Homo-oligomer: A and B are copies of this chain.
Amino acid sequence: MTKRHKIIADGWPGRGASTNGIGRDNIGCDMDGQQALRLTPQRRAVLEVLQTAHNHPTAAEVYDRVREVAPGIGAATVYRSLGLLVQAGQALELSLGNGTAARYDGNTSRHDHLVCDRCGQAVDIDLPSPVEMMVDELAHSTGFAITGYDLQLRGLCPSCRPGG
Contact = CB atoms under 8 A, between A and B. Distances in A.
Interface of A: 2, 93, 95, 97-99, 102, 114, 116-117, 123, 125, 127, 130-131, 133-135, 137-139, 141-158, 161, 164
A92 to B, nearest CB: 11
Contact of A151 (B93, B131, B155, B158): B131
B127 A130 contact: no
Nearest to A2: B117
A139 to B, nearest CB: 7
25 contacts: A95-B97, A95-B99, A99-B102, A114-B142, A114-B144, A127-B138, A130-B131, A130-B133, A131-B151, A135-B153, A143-B157, A143-B158, A144-B153, A144-B155, A144-B156, A146-B154, A146-B155, A147-B155, A148-B153, A148-B154, A148-B155, A149-B153, A149-B154, A150-B154, A151-B151
A140 to B, nearest CB: 11
A120 to B, nearest CB: 13
Contacts of A141: 127
A138 B153 contact: yes
Contact of A149 (B93, B133, B152): B152
Of A125, A142, A156, A157, chain B has the most CB atoms within 10 Å of the CB of: A142
A144 B131 contact: no
